[in-house]
Amino acid sequence: MKSLSSQRQDYCKGVLRRADLKKDPLEQFDLWFQEASTCDAITEANAMSLSTANCDLLVTSRMVLLKGYDKHGFRFFTNSTSIKGRHIAENPKVALLFYWPPLERQVRISGPASLLPRRETEEYFLSRPRKSQLAACASFQSMTLPNRQTLESRMQELKGKYINQEIPVPEFWNGYLVTPHSMQFWQGRNDRLHDCFQYTKKENTWIIERLNP
């Protein structure tokens, strides 16, 4: 087995200077996100790690998909009875991480998560492919499952139940908005002397600081 300690990769695809940064981190994110979205080597630029912690500070992370962002924050949708949904109900402080290896870039975001208005959740749910809607209804996310056949049978039952009908939005399926309190932009550089800048919200102003990598 190859030793992990011997694996090395130098980063040389870009630099990040203070003069390059937008005053607003959401604008800076949009710039980087658009570049990631048009990079042929990146298949899902909107894939992000979501970290949550319950009231006992048990931290867990998983990959979810960003489904929208604007000046208010970052949106994703999920089953609120899942582990992440239960964690957010107990402790709304979350962290997001975007990692785009072909561009040698990371973006880290911290802030509270809150429920989106039900209307927005319903609009997005109804825009999803029908099979995705059915899967959201069929999966009791994070709950123990005796076998895969149970899940597939539930899916088939729902297909029959809602044939030629609109699928109702499950009450347990919701959208969340992560409102950023801090955002960090990381650009890989040679010799591990990476460029890293952090935006921190103080009242209504974003403070920008360079951090040691």
What is the C-alpha separation between 168 and 151, in angstroms, rounded?
19
Which residue of the set 18, 118, 130, 192 is catalytic? Answer: 192
Alpha-carbon gap, residue 13 to 107, rounded angstroms: 16
pTM: 0.93
CA nearest 98: which of 180, 155, 156, 175? 180
Residue 137 has pLDDT above 70, yes or no: yes
The phi and psi torsions of 91 (rounded to 5 degrees) equal -150, 105
Q: Over the stretch 47-56, which tens digit does the pLDDT of each residue have?
A: 999 999 999 9
pLDDT of residue 8: 76
pLDDT at 85 over 90: yes
pLDDT at 1: 64
What's the confidence (pLDDT) of residue 9?
79
Instruction: For domain 14-210, give the fold.
Output: Pnp Oxidase; Chain A (2.30.110)
Average pLDDT over residues 88-112: 98
Taking the CB of residue 27, how many other CB atoms lie within 10 A of it? Answer: 11
Is the CB of residue 77 less than 8 Å from the CB of residue 125?
yes
Q: Taking 90 as the threshold, does the pLDDT of residue 132 lie above it?
A: yes
| Catalytic site includes residue 210 | no
Each residue's pLDDT tens digit, 152-197: 999 999 999 999 899 999 999 999 999 999 999 999 999 889 999 9
Bridge pairing between strands 105-115 and 93-100: antiparallel
| 191 compared with 2, residue with greater pLDDT | 191
